[in-house]
A = this chain, B = another copy of it.
Amino acid sequence: MSARRPFIRAGEETRRAALIEATLDLIAEGGPQAATVRAIALRAGVTPGLIRHYFATKEELIAAAHETLMTGLTDASAAALDSLPDDPLGRLAGFVTNAVSPPVTDPRSVALWAASMQLVPRDPVMRAVHEATYLGFRDRLEAMIADALRAADRPATEARALAIAGNALLDGLWIEAGALPDHFADGELKSIAIKAFSHLLELKLPEV
């Protein structure tokens, strides 16, 4: 008779992390409808029943996956900041360049972002998370813009409006890079972003 599948006891943290990672992978590859209980379990190297042992319901697992995704994204964008040059113009240029280059422009990230974006209008929790991460990114950009303006002896009164516009510009480029990767030559988006920011701020940003 067929032997029962052997297994090892991995413990709560390991298994929860594996299940969440499998969920995110599946959503990125095939959308939310691809993240079925069975597919998640298969990818996590586990049987479907175990999911219920760690998450009372599938919805709970999805929520946990979203939280992991969002905190991961903000952490990644915060980590890249430290390796930027010290002068305000260089820092801003590096920040802008990073935002439209790999690994930030990664199909997986864009797909996951689109999936969560879809929940924002009707899920208050998702809305709060989105708001926090959006404002976090924009505030950082605003600070850099203000620094760059002051370094050129210019008033920073318009920094907020410029940050909103600049953030929108980066978002739009990032999305299109993820949606239609073949439409732009290598480095084209980077160059466009730097030139656009130079025009926006009336400052000459260096191309990295």
Residues of chain A at the chain B interface (Cβ within 8 Å): 29-33, 107, 110-111, 114-115, 117-122, 127, 130-131, 134, 158, 161-162, 164-165, 167-173, 175-176, 178-180, 183-184, 189, 191-193, 195-196, 199-202
Contact status B114-A178, CB under 8 Å: no
Copies of this chain, tallied across the complex: 2
Contact status A173-B168, CB under 8 Å: yes
Which B residue sits closest to A123, measured CB to CB? B31
Contact status A180-B115, CB under 8 Å: no
> With A165-B169, A172-B169 given, is the CB distance from A120 to B179 under 8 Å?
yes
> Given the complex of chains A and B, what is the CA–CA distance between A201 and B199 in angstroms?
8
> Given the complex of chains A and B, what is the CA–CA distance between A184 and B9 in angstroms?
48
A-B CB contact pairs (8 Å), 25 listed: A29-B122, A32-B32, A111-B118, A111-B121, A114-B114, A114-B117, A114-B120, A115-B118, A120-B179, A127-B179, A134-B176, A134-B180, A161-B191, A161-B192, A164-B176, A164-B184, A164-B192, A165-B173, A165-B195, A165-B196, A167-B176, A168-B168, A168-B173, A169-B196, A170-B172
> Given the complex of chains A and B, what is the CA–CA distance between A175 and B116 in angstroms?
13
